[in-house]
């Protein structure tokens, strides 16, 4: 009887994609997330799904185009994220001072 192949969930591939884009093996990637390499292996094979906390941590590590995926998986309201980023950028932006005559 042929062996059933189970396709991996999209999130499993994204976890691996992130780890590889950071040029990390599973143990250092897991350490960055406060997890274990076995847990990361389980995520990448689709055995277990990361928690919302781990998705957010991965979103914080990821480039913007991949971060959105992780934040959405965590249930983060992306409008709130956009507002927070805009507010933070405005706060950090140097204000232009007009010279006194």
Domain boundaries, the chain: 10-92
Mean pLDDT of the chain: 87
What homologous superfamily is domain 10-92 in, according to CATH?
lambda repressor-like DNA-binding domains (1.10.260.40)
Would you place residue 65 in the very low, low, confident or very high pLDDT band (cuts 50, 70, 90)?
Answer: confident
DSSP-derived secondary structure letter, 46: T
Residue 77 confidence (pLDDT): 86
Residue 65 burial (10 A CB sphere; 0-12, 13-18, 19+)? exposed
Which pLDDT tens digit goes with each residue over 18-36?
Answer: 999 999 999 999 999 999 9
CA distance 80 to 87: 10
Say if residues 57 and 33 touch (Cβ distance below 8 Å): yes
**Of residues 48 and 80, more confidently modeled:** 48
pTM over 0.85: no
Helix (H, G, I), strand (E, B) or coil at 80: helix
């Amino acid at each position: 009887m042929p062996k059933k192949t189970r396709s991996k969930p999209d999130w499993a591939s994204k976890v691996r994609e992130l780890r590889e884009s950071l040029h990390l093996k599973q143990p250092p990637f897991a350490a960055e997330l406060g997890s274990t390499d076995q847990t990361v292996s389980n995520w990448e094979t689709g055995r277990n799904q990361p928690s919302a906390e781990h998705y957010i941590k991965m979103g914080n590590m990821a480039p913007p185009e991949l971060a959105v995926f992780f934040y959405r998986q965590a249930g983060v309201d992306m409008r709130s994220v956009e507002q927070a980023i805009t507010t933070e950028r405005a706060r950090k932006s140097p204000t232009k001072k007009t010279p006194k005559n």
